[in-house]
Amino acid sequence: MPSLPEYDTDDIVESAVVSRLAANWGQRATVKKVEPDLDDLFDHDKHDYPEALIPFAKHEIYRGLAEASKERIRAWGWIAFNKNVMDVEQHIVNPGFSLLARDAFDTKMGDVLAVAVTQAMVDEQYHTLMHLNASSLTRRQRGWSMPERALPFSAVIRRQQRSQLEAQSSSDAALSALAYTTVAEISITSYLDLIEDNELIQPVNRATVKLHNRDEYCHASIADEMAVIVFDALAPAERTLFLTGLAEGMDAFSSTDFSTWEAILRHENVVGWERMLTDTRNDSSRQKLVQDYSGIRSLCRKLDVEDEIGIDWP
């Protein structure tokens, strides 16, 4: 890619980190790489989804199911994981990036930042395609229909949509949207790592997540830099709204949400599923999925609000 034109005059906001990422996008982005042949990589003997991520995997009802039933539930787990990734990209991340790309927060940012954010939006669109292909491959290779439309929006999406509807003005809605995008982009790598690190899992699924994650490490830097730039341009009341949005976003992304599992178990007619989910919900020894907010914490430290945001950091 030829070097980008220099617009770095005194009144235009730029970032050295983001400029470097924008300049090497052509070499590093997954969308620019040759696509692997997914059907060749599919291994019928591997699990489509780790049982460690199935909250009721240790429950007697699940353990008593025939292996064929468990296989279907694991495939559903993967399809639900992909749907969640796609929903976050389409309903949270890209709308937030789009606000940045058109400088809705009036940061006076230059072309390089707008280009980097627009590249990230292309990445997200491509990730959505990658995860759609991954679900489609699972359906095709296993011979099961398992449509996404049988599953609800996750609690995160529902909460973000509620905040959008309840915002007092379009600029308040924009700050809330940016806050959710920031949380998503700075913490998604830990969510993707849940699949990447597991040897028992379908190689295609691990490869999909690994390629996705590589892009996301760069997005985390971009989102972090953009949050600092926007925060700098905000008035005090807007800063408060943005920080409230960050705290809400963190809470939303780490909430326990069984609505998707409920839809899956109902769809599969698992006998006793209601009791299994109730027991799982009430089981205090169950390990909750931990969302890694160390990146958001270091952003808050940079913004000098680590203690003001009302988060009990671990």
Two structure tokens written together for 287: 């390990």
Distance CA 195, CA 106 (A): 38
Compute the least distance from the CB of residue 249 to Fe ion, in Å: 14
CA pseudo-torsion sign 23, 27, 28, 34: positive
Name the residue nearer to Fe ion (CB basis): 124 or 224: 124
Among positions 38-67, residues that touch Fe ion (CB under 5 A) are: none
Name the residue nearer to Fe ion (CB basis): 137 or 209: 209
- Distance in angstroms between the alpha carbons of the first and the last residue of the chain: 42
Distance CA 217, CA 191 (A): 12
Q: Fill in the per-residue mask, 165 to 204: x = in contact with Fe ion (CB under 5 A), - = not in contact.
A: ----------------------------------------
Contact stretch for Fe ion (CB under 5 A) within 39-47, 197-205, 218-226, 254-262:
218-226
Compute the least distance from the CB of residue 261 to Fe ion, in Å: 23
Contact stretch for Fe ion (CB under 5 A) within 119-127, 167-175, 265-273, 304-312:
119-127
Q: Fill in the per-residue mask, 219 to 248: x = in contact with Fe ion (CB under 5 A), - = not in contact.
A: x-----------------------------
Name the residue nearer to Fe ion (CB basis): 19 or 221: 221
Does residue 83 interact with Fe ion by CB under 5 A? Answer: no
Distance CA 181, CA 99 (A): 10
Compute the least distance from the CB of residue 219 to Fe ion, in Å: 3
Compute the least distance from the CB of residue 32 to Fe ion, in Å: 15
The burial class, CB within 10 Å (0-12 / 13-18 / 19+), for 38 is buried
Contact stretch for Fe ion (CB under 5 A) within 94-102, 105-113, 190-198, 212-220:
212-220
Binder among 74, 83, 91, 127 for Fe ion (CB under 5 A): 127
Compute the least distance from the CB of residue 183 to Fe ion, in Å: 12
Compute the least distance from the CB of residue 190 to Fe ion, in Å: 13
Compute the least distance from the CB of residue 213 to Fe ion, in Å: 9
* DSSP per-residue letters across 127-160: HHHHHHHHHHHHHHHHT----GGGSPPPHHHHHH
Distances 71 to 48, 74, 77, 142 between C-alpha atoms, Å:
8, 5, 10, 10
Name the residue nearer to Fe ion (CB basis): 47 or 219: 219
Distance CA 189, CA 294 (A): 12
Contact in structure between 32 and 257 (CB atoms under 8 Å) = no
Name the residue nearer to Fe ion (CB basis): 212 or 239: 212
Contact in structure between 179 and 248 (CB atoms under 8 Å) = yes
Residue 251 neighbours by CB under 8 Å, 6+ apart: none
Q: Which residues bind Fe ion (CB under 5 A)?
A: 124, 127, 216, 219
